[in-house]
Each structure stands twice: as C-alpha cells, then as structure tokens.
A and B are shown apart, each in its own frame.
Chain A
C-alpha cells in the first residue's frame, strides 16, 4: 500500500472517530443546554417587551444571538469533521488512480488531512475567541483544502489508464 493511501485511510478513520466523538460529547453535554438557552433568551425578550422593558428585551436578544452563534458553529464543526473524514477515506481508496508521482500524492494527502482537521478547528475556536485569528485559521485551511481538491480533480482528469 502506498504512503499516500495509508495516510488518507488511517487519517480519515481517525478523523471519523474524532468527529463522531465530538458529536457524542456535544449531544451529551452541550446541545440540550444550548437549545434551552436559545429558547429561554428569546422567550424572555418577548416577555420583557410585553412588559414595556425594551432594554431588558434587547439584552435578552443579545444573549439569544450569542447562544445561537455558538450552537450553529458547534453543529457545523461536527458535520464538517465527519463529512471531510468520509471524503479522506474515499480518496484513500482512489488515490492511486491520480496521474501524479507518489511524492506529489503524499503531499496532496497531507494537505487534505491537515486542512480537514484545521478548518473545523478554526470554526470552533470562533466560539472561544471572536477575533480575526480563528477566522483566518479556518479561512486558510479551507483555501488549502479547496486547492488540494482542485488538484485531485485535475489528477483524475489527466489519468490515461
């Protein structure tokens, strides 16, 4: 088995385990609390507004937006880690069909694996720190991943048989 195939199969299955374990942790310890917080803050906003307390209503809406921001990113991270992991395993099975040398294939596999882990990591870090750092990390990893995917498509297209 070639090094690139090894890297993608082992890395992909490890990422499958990581993505699913994160999903299990999220479902057990975070999801219900997050959904409760989102609903409670929105309900409080409307209740305060009915009582004529607009400042409190707006504060409750701020809490709602913050909780929803975090929840959506946590769900996205679970689905992207798991989805990208499936793609890595799939490419692992097909990678030897690429019209590149093994050295290039290995480099592509490494970029795909690193991008697949770092891109969702950058997204989840946005829930900890809202600055440009996590966004830049996610953006850079996503750009690398996209370029690697384009190179894979070109490699399959160039393959002569």
Chain B
C-alpha cells in the first residue's frame, strides 16, 4: 500500500470542509434510508397489504347489504387522509428520498473539486442541502401522523408544506453547486489534483464499475420488459377485478367477492415484486459505481478487495432475482432474497474493515510522526 497515496486521498476530504460534510452526511442518509427500508419491509408492508384486503372485503359486504355509507367508509380507510395507502406511500417516499438524497450528497462531494466557489460558500450550500435533505423525508414521514391538524389549507397539512420547503432548499443548494460548476467550466481555478487519486483503473475498482453498470443495465432492461409486457395488462386486470368485485358484491355473492379480493391482493403483490426487482437492481448498481471511489481507501490486499466486491455483486443479483421468484416459490425465495441482502451487507462490512484499517494506519503514522 502506498501511504503517500492514502495521505493525499485523505487530504482530499479535509476535516470540517464542505466535501467531508457532504460525504459523511450522504453516507449517514444512505444508511438511515436502508435501515428504514428494512423496518418498513418487516413491520409495515405485509400488514398494510392485509388490512387493505380486509377493508375491501368489508366494503363488498356493505355493498351486499345495500348500505351505501358503510360501503364507501372502508374505501376512505384505505385511500383517504390518514388511510392505509397514505401510510404506505409516505413510508416508501421517506425511504426512497433519504437514499436518493444520500447518493446525491456523495456525488456532490465528489464533484466539488470542479465547483468554483469559496470554501465558506460551499459549506453554506452543503449545510443547506443536508438540512433540506433531512427536512423533506422527516416531514414526509410525519404526514400520516400529523394529518391536517391546524392546517391553513383544506387538503394539504403542515407536514406536506414542510416537506415541500425541504425540497425547495435542496433545489436551491443544487442550483448553487451547478452555478459553481459553470464558473469552473468558464475558466475558473483548476481542480484539486487529489481528486484524480480517487480513481483506480484496475482490479476491484474495474470490477465494481463493470458490475455496477451491468446491474443498472439489468434494472432498466427489466423495467422495459415490465412496461412492454406486463404493465398495461396489470392495469387492465386491476380495473377488471374491481369491476368484478362491485358486481359480485351487488349480487350478494360474498364467497366470490372474497376470491376476487384475494386475486386483487395477488395482483398487487405481482406488481410490487416487479417494481422492487427493477428499483433494487438500479439502486445496487448505483451503489457499486459509487463504491469505486472508496476502493483506494480500502486497506486490504487486492484478492481480498475482489472477494468483498464479488460478495456484494453476488448479493445484488440474488436479492432482486429471488424477490421476483417469490410469486412462484413463496417463502423459500423470500429467504434466499434475504440471504442476498445479507451478502450485500457482508460485502459492505468487508470494505468497511478495510477503510478502518486505512484510517488506523494513518492515525498510527501520524502519532509516530509526532
């Protein structure tokens, strides 16, 4: 390992600087988003889907009984303010926005050498970005709990307004960084030489670049396949099943209504696994590409770096593939998909150990020098 190279690379993220602020803030956001996603999957997702089925069945029973008010109440429990879909939607939005802002923060940290602004202005923009990037998801998460309490508007609550304000702050910060990039391109200061040190051309870095791009490609291919083959069909089946539900309920055929509700639930699960496979492939691909920049800091031998990268990439493939197979193989596929998630975490932990060894070595050398 070349210590000079490590020192120079570490110097690219000076303590207290805008770049380190964005990098650490971004990593914290990504971790928070992933943890929230796990909690959501375990404690909310399936329970929420089951309650939606129960409410649909209650609506069908009220239709059979000829009670109009009682038939529309369960639907409002599903889709109305404070309903099940709002709970699900705001939790998913929180998870997705935290991770996306985390990725964006890390990317902005990497772009910063090309942003021609004073360090103080960069820190202001970084702070503004991270404040907005935290305010938006926290506020989105609160929408379900705060509702319309004390709101000046008939259908938009305070939590939504704060979320929108958070989004505006992120936009302003990004516009500021873009302005700095534009100034640089029009003949500003040259970028820091340390930035180039963050890119390794061969070995585990190349594996991450190729693997990451292939994962993103697979994600888009799957998305394209879903859009071309299944999406319209799913939308037609969704409408047809609801039509059938109101029809059989009006005919007081409740056993058939229960079957239709089950079929409707299965259809929602089909849609969910396709979307989950599409989004996880792209998300893991993006993560692999971002990890390219971390490899120079991983103080491990090249064979070990490659093993951890291979573990991460294997998990990134296994998880979405077996999520898709859940519809055919049920819990077995679900268990293997979870194993894929575990491999991704193991790969990340392996790299983290290498990172900690780097910082430990630098600290030790710093102490020896003193």
Contacts and interface: CB of A to CB of B under 8 A. Distances in A.
A17 to B, nearest CB: 6
Contact of A97 (B100, B182, B209): B209
Contact of A90 (B76, B78, B199, B290): B290
A51 B66 contact: yes
Interface string A30-56: 001101101100111111111110100
Q: What is the interface of chain B mostly: helix, strand, loop, or mixed? A: helix
B220 A149 contact: yes
Nearest to A39: B79
Given A39-B79, A159-B206, A47 B72 contact: yes
Prevailing SS type, chain A contact patch: helix
Contacts of A28: 164
B178 A46 contact: no
B242 interface: yes
Given A6-B185, A152-B213, A39 B174 contact: no
Interface in B60-80: 60, 62-63, 65-72, 74-76, 78-80
B104 A16 contact: yes
Interface of B: 59-60, 62-63, 65-72, 74-76, 78-80, 83, 85-86, 96, 100, 103-104, 107, 110-111, 114, 155-156, 160, 163-164, 167-168, 170-171, 174-175, 177-178, 181-182, 185, 191, 199, 201-202, 206, 209-210, 213-214, 216-217, 220-221, 223-224, 227-228, 235, 238-239, 242-243, 246-247, 249-250, 282, 286, 289-290, 292-293
A122 to B, nearest CB: 11
Given A39-B83, A161-B202, 6 more contacts: A14-B178, A39-B78, A42-B78, A44-B72, A61-B243, A86-B100
Contacts of B223: 142
Size class of the A contact interface (CB-based, 8 Å): 35 or more
Nearest to A98: B209
Given A24-B167, A87-B216, A146-B221, A39 B185 contact: no
The 8 closest A-B pairs by CB, nearest first: A39-B79, A43-B72, A49-B246, A50-B71, A161-B202, A153-B213, A161-B201, A43-B75
B69 A47 contact: yes
Contact of B171 (A20, A52, A142, A150): A20
B250 A52 contact: yes
A159 B178 CA distance: 30
A153 B214 contact: yes
Contacts of A87: 216, 286
Contact of B209 (A13, A142, A156): A156
Contacts of B175: 17
Given A1-B185, A46-B71, A146-B224, A54 B214 contact: no
